[in-house]
Amino acid sequence: MARKKIVAGNWKMNMTPAKAVELIATLRPLVDSNDVDVVLCVPAIDIVPAITATRGTNIAIGAENMHYEESGAYTGEIAPNMLVEAGVKYVILGHSERREYFHETDEELNKKVKKAFEHGLTPILCCGETLEQREMGITIDWIRMQIKSDLAGVPASDVAKMVIAYEPIWAIGTGKTATTGQAQQVCKAIRDCIAEIYDEETAENVRIQYGGSVNAGNAKELFAQPDIDGGLVGGASLKPEFGKIVNYK
């Protein structure tokens, strides 16, 4: 069975609630598609208005982060059942900005992935190398280590349903895209790693996105690669251009 493409926007720390509703009104007619799953991952405060603004459309709403505990003394954090009750379907976990600026570890991410599944949320698990790691020739080793740590103890039946986003850190927000060959090579290595840890069927089902300066000009070629099942899109998801990425064909 062919994997359905999935294009997810990551708004990061942009858009007030009012601006979020305005942007969704602009994007709604532009991202209508039967071929692609469309997700907008929005700041926590935008989740409720975004859910209302996308009701009856093909757009699913995602969160940008989540805590692995159910509730408690974690000031400023958001619990999985809060996301579920609001109507959230996806959650980005382990974005490189969270790993770098908020010191998220693979151990914490492993707990978050398990907790997301416990609550029926689909994780979009991010992995990626720095420019230094790429130049040292350790990209694949690094990514395999991230995948193995973040998925330790996660059953195959869950992995088959999740999304993994390969995002070379040097390509995020820089305008510098990985070449199609580089992106395909690492996405294939991720799929091979899943086949190794689990089995061929799980590897065939897991959806792997590329992220890093995806735009209307490069989406078609990137998404045509056999192991790239769509994209995680930052900057361009804040503009009507996002519609062109969804309708990349």
Question: Catalytic site residues?
Answer: 95, 167
Which residue pairs, CB below 8 angstroms and at least 24 apart, start in 128-132?
128/96, 128/166, 128/167, 128/168, 128/169, 128/172, 128/211, 128/212, 129/168, 129/169, 129/170, 130/169, 130/170, 131/169, 131/170
Q: What angle do CA 59, 63, 139 make, to 5 degrees?
A: 105
The first and second tokens of residue 132, run together, are 């230094």
State the binding string over 204-243 for ligand PEP (x if CB under 6 A, else -). -------xxxx-----------------xxxx--------
Q: Least separation, in Å, of the C-beta of 122 and ligand PEP?
A: 16
CA-CA distance, 186 to 116, in Å (whole number)?
25
Residue number of the CB atom closest to ligand PEP: 234
What are the φ/ψ torsions at residue 126 (nearest 5 degrees)? -95, 145
Mask of contacts with ligand PEP, 3-42, x by CB under 6 A?
-------x-x------------------------------
d(CA 215, CA 195): 30
Which is nearer to ligand PEP, 121 or 214 (by Cβ)? Answer: 214
* Minimum gap (Å) between residue 237 Cβ and ligand PEP: 7
Give whichever of 44 and 197 is closer to ligand PEP, judged by the CB atom.
44
Site string for ligand PEP, 122-141 (x = CB under 6 A): --------------------
Residue 19 CB, nearest approach to ligand PEP (Å): 18
187 binds ligand PEP (CB under 6 A): no
Distance of CA 143 to the CA centre of its chain: 15
Number of residues that bind ligand PEP (CB under 6 A): 13
- According to CB under 6 A, which residues from 147 to 186 bind ligand PEP? 167, 172-173
Residues that bind ligand PEP (CB under 6 A): 10, 12, 167, 172-173, 211-214, 232-235
